[in-house]
Structures are given as structure tokens and as C-alpha cells.
Amino acid sequence: MNETLLLRGGRVIDPAQGVDGTLDIQVVDGAVTKIGAGLEAMGRTLDVSGCIVTPGFIDLHTHLREPGFEQKGTIATETLAALRGGFTTICAMPNTNPAPDAADVLRSLRERIERDARVRVLPIGCVTRGRAGKELAELAELAAGGCVALSDDGNPVANARLMRNAMELAAAMGMPISEHCDEPELSHGGSMNEGRVSERLGLPGQPEAAETSAIARNIALCEATGARLHIAHVTTARGLELVADAKRRGLAITCEVTPSHLFLTEEAVFGPGAEPAYDTNAKINPPLRTEADRRALVAGVNAGIIDAIATDHAPHAVEDKLCEFDDAAFGISCIETALATVTTLIERGELELGAAIRALTSGPAGVFPFPPDLGSLKTGARDITVIDPAHRWTVDPRRFASKGRNTPLGGITLSGAVRAVVFDGTVAYEMEPAGA
């Protein structure tokens, strides 16, 4: 049930409206009705002084694992994790079993979402049947069924002719394609970034060229077809340069970066000690790159070249990571630490606050065809995230709501936490008091 609510005295930042000031927010009948100073209290008052108040976060890239991999995560557990991370809208990637490649599978997925989700979940459909890269999925059915984008997720569409056909059809339907840009012939067998650290550890690496060559190809196909192309989790400085050039030329291209690639480098695989840790929790695809790449990505967020910070949240069961490095699954469980890694970078003076909030709210809201009230605090908006930037906490994966405990951040102290979340007009989450 919705409640009448006043959020009083926070620093309200809404990039979509150019708002940044100490203000109150009034929520009546589940929707924002007014933003201003000294508003009259109605119903419940939430004192958010000292906090930053923003639109609800939007995640363009989340793995819920259900159906098919419920031992890793479920719609219920992972959307609760998203809520605790400040995300009120998430896009579910299609690497499930069965994969949503036709109307009947999508319909079943949407029924599960309606039953179990704690936040707004918008499905992403497959580009090819079974994400196998052989023949196109039922793209028109997926568009009509409510998918906000098309993607084969971690399976790049390697066949250029097939990708061109997909882009032409997607363009005709007004559907964006989100592509994991990778050249499998270059990256196959690589378990981390190819470079100094992989050589020191004796691990096979994925070269930068695997990403950049695929980005270049897909930009060319985007230009040829007029499709809307979204580059998922860009990780390299050179890849970002290619995206920036395409944007300057007016192509319909957007991109995202993960908080993991903003905060960590390939050194996380080695670990902090003198002896190599071979930390499988730092194994992610695309891999963590160099410090130079990380700094370029941070600069890309600050400059607005990167449209969104998207988690690529990838929960795994313990056995998926408790094995030899080469055999371990790719992915980091990070939706509950995403905000804190971002605010820690802000505290360090690397990320700019306004740019980071934009990349979590209005930026992603403009990438896929979302409902018009998302990503802003304008009148009628129903989602709000409250951030306590001064809260310091130590990451303890055992306290995650996610089934996935696979994070390389365990034991690390971060600054910034989600204080409260209003979802669909109701306070859906509040941080537990200290010591609770």
C-alpha cells in the first residue's frame, strides 16, 4: 500500500532536471508531487539530512539466473539484492535455461517476475535461438512481448552477416541490441587480461584486441543498418575511444561500464599479498584490465562518454569458484557493493558525483525504451534512492541478500551505503541501524 511521505533535508540530485540542492521531496499516493525547501509534512517524514537523494537506480545488465540456474540465484533473491543496492529497475539478461528466444518462453519468464520480483524487472530477449549464434530468434515476438533490448549476453554474435540481419530487423522495430563485444577466436581459452600479470601468474589471457576488433566491427554494422547499438561492459581505453568517435559521428551508439572495471584491475587476481592468490572471485568476462584502462573508464564516466554504470551482477554457487582458476566460472556478485565502490571513488576524488549519479539514473534511462517516469524525480516519479555517503562499512559476503557470495571485495572497507529506497511509491528498504 502506498504512503504519504516527506523526505526532508537531503541533497537532492536529479541530473534529468538539472536539480542539485538541499530540498524536500513530497510523495503523495505513491508519486512525487513536489520538490522544494520547507515543504509541509504530510504522513510519514523521513529525515534524510546529510544524505544524497536521487532517482531510483537503473541497472541495464543483471543476471537473475532463474529459470535454470536457481542454485546460483533466483528472481526473489537477486531482486532483493538489487533493492538493497539502490536499484529499482533492472534489466534481466537472457542467459537462462530456457533462454527467452520466443514468445512462450518470455511469457513464462514474465509470470515468474510478476510473482517474485522485489523491484521492476524488464527482460532482455535473445538475438539468436538459444543464444547459439546460428539463426535469429523470434525478434518480433520478443519485441511485442515487452523486451526492452536484444542480446545474446556473454555469447557474442560472431557471424557478421547474422549480426547485420539482426540489426536491420531490430532497427525496423526500434529495438536496441546490447552486445558483448568480443572476438572469440582471439579470446577463447583466456581466463584473465593478457599482459604482465597473466604472464607472471602463468595464466592464459584475453587480449585487448578481442574487445576492440569486435567493437569496431559492430560500429561498422551499426552505421550500415541504422540500428541502435549498446556496447555492454566496455573495458579498454581503446574500445572507449572507438565508442567516442562513433558518437562524435552521430551514430546511435551507447555504452556501459561495470563498477568492477571502474574499481578493480587485473592485480585483483594476484591478490594483495606477496604470493599470488589466484583469486577466482576476480575472474570476470570481459576481464579486469590495466590501471591505465581503469583510469580511462573513470574519465569516460566523468566526460559523459559512458552512458551507464551497469553492474553485470553475476551470482554463482560456491562450487563455481572453489576450483582451479582456469576452471572457475566468470562473474562477480556486485549489485550490493556497486554504489559503495562508486561513492568510494568519488571520495578519492576520481569520479565526479554528478556524473556518477547521471550514469546510475538518467543516463541508463535514455538507453533502452523505458517508461517515461524512470531515471528522474519529476512529478509522477515513483522510485527514489537515498544514499548515506559518510557511512563506512566492511564488505562481508555472508550478509549479502544475493545467493552469490563471489566477490573479490570481501574484507575491504568502503565509503557510502544505501540508506533507504522508495520503490513504486512505498519505502521498500531501510538500512538497519548500526549494531542491529
* Domain spans of the chain, in order of start: 5-52+383-430, 55-365
Q: Which CATH number fits domain 5-52+383-430: 2.60.40.10, 3.90.1300.10, 2.30.40.10, 2.40.160.50?
A: 2.30.40.10
What pLDDT digit, counting tens, does each position of 280-335 carry?
Answer: 999 999 999 999 999 999 999 999 999 999 999 999 999 999 999 999 999 999 99
Look at residue 259 and tell me whether its pLDDT is greater than 90: yes
What pLDDT digit, counting tens, does each position of 371-405 carry?
Answer: 999 999 999 999 999 999 999 999 999 999 999 99
Active site residue 312: yes
Q: How many residues make up the chain in this entry?
A: 436
CA distance 321 to 279: 9
User: What is the model's pLDDT at position 432?
Assistant: 83
CA distance 137 to 142: 8
Q: Which of 15, 55, 83, 111 is nearest to 313 (CA)?
A: 83
10 Å CB burial of residue 53 (0-12, 13-18, 19+) is buried
Please check whether the two domains, 5-52+383-430 and 55-365, share a CATH topology.
no
Higher pLDDT, 313 or 273: 313
- Grid coordinates representing 246 are 562513433
Class of domain 55-365: alpha beta
Mean pLDDT along residues 152-181: 97
Q: How confident is the model at residue 2 (pLDDT cuts 50, 70, 90)?
A: low
Look at residue 1 and tell me whether its pLDDT is greater than 80: no
In the chain, pLDDT over 90 holds for what percent of residues?
Answer: 96
Look at residue 172 and tell me whether its pLDDT is greater than 60: yes
Q: Which of 123, 153, 156, 125 is nearest to 138 (CA)?
A: 125
What pLDDT digit, counting tens, does each position of 105-154 carry?
Answer: 999 999 999 999 999 999 999 999 999 999 999 999 999 999 999 999 99
User: What is the model's pLDDT at position 415?
Assistant: 98
User: What is the model's pLDDT at position 251?
Assistant: 98
What pLDDT digit, counting tens, does each position of 39-83 carry?
Answer: 998 899 999 999 999 999 999 999 999 999 999 999 999 999 999
* Residue 143, phi then psi, degrees to nearest 5: -65, -45
User: What is the model's pLDDT at position 350?
Assistant: 98
CA distance 191 to 287: 8
Q: What is the residue-averaged pLDDT of the chain?
A: 97
The 3-state secondary structure of the chain reads CCCCEEEEEEEEEECCCCEEEEEEEEEECCEEEEEECCCCCCCEEEECCCCEEEECEEEEEECCCCCCCCCCCCHHHHHHHHHHCCEEEEEECCCCCCCCCCHHHHHHHHHHHHHHCCCEEEEEECCEHHHCCCCECCHHHHHHCCCCEECCCCCCCCCHHHHHHHHHHHHHHCCCEEECCCCHHHHCCCCEECCHHHHHHCCCEECHHHHHHHHHHHHHHHHHHCCCEEECCCCCHHHHHHHHHHHHCCCCEEEEECHHHHHCCCHHHHCCCCCCCCCHHHCCCCCCCCHHHHHHHHHHHHHCCCCEECCCECCCCHHHHCCCHHHCCCCCCCCCCHHHHHHHHHHCCCCCHHHHHHHHCHHHHCCCCCCCCCCCCCCCCCCEEEEEEEEEEECCHHHCCCCCCCCCCCCCEEEEEEEEEEECCEEEEECCCCCC
Give the C-alpha distances (Å, rounded to integers) separating 326 from 75, 109, 241, 261.
29, 32, 30, 20
User: What is the model's pLDDT at position 283?
Assistant: 98
- Grid coordinates representing 418 are 544505501
Look at residue 181 and tell me whether its pLDDT is greater than 90: yes
User: What is the model's pLDDT at position 356?
Assistant: 98
What pLDDT digit, counting tens, does each position of 208-241 carry?
Answer: 999 999 999 999 999 999 999 999 999 999 999 9
User: What is the model's pLDDT at position 75?
Assistant: 98
Work out the angle between the directed axes of helices 208-225 and 237-248 (0-180°, nearest 10).
Answer: 10
Look at residue 26 and tell me whether its pLDDT is greater than 60: yes
CB of 256 closer than 8 Å to CB of 230: yes
10 Å CB burial of residue 1 (0-12, 13-18, 19+) is exposed
Q: Which of 319, 387, 368, 313 is nearest to 57 (CA)?
A: 387
Q: How confident is the model at residue 433 (pLDDT cuts 50, 70, 90)?
A: confident
pTM: 0.97
User: What is the model's pLDDT at position 166?
Assistant: 98
Mean pLDDT along residues 11-37: 97
User: What is the model's pLDDT at position 434?
Assistant: 63
In the chain, pLDDT over 70 holds for what percent of residues?
Answer: 99
10 Å CB burial of residue 25 (0-12, 13-18, 19+) is buried
Cβ partners under 8 Å of residue 274, min gap 6 = none
Q: How confident is the model at residue 205 (pLDDT cuts 50, 70, 90)?
A: very high
Annotated catalytic residue, options 24, 59, 307, 312:
312
User: What is the model's pLDDT at position 41?
Assistant: 85
CA distance 51 to 388: 5
CA distance 296 to 275: 29
CA distance 3 to 28: 7
Quick one: how far is CA 117 from the chain centroid? 17
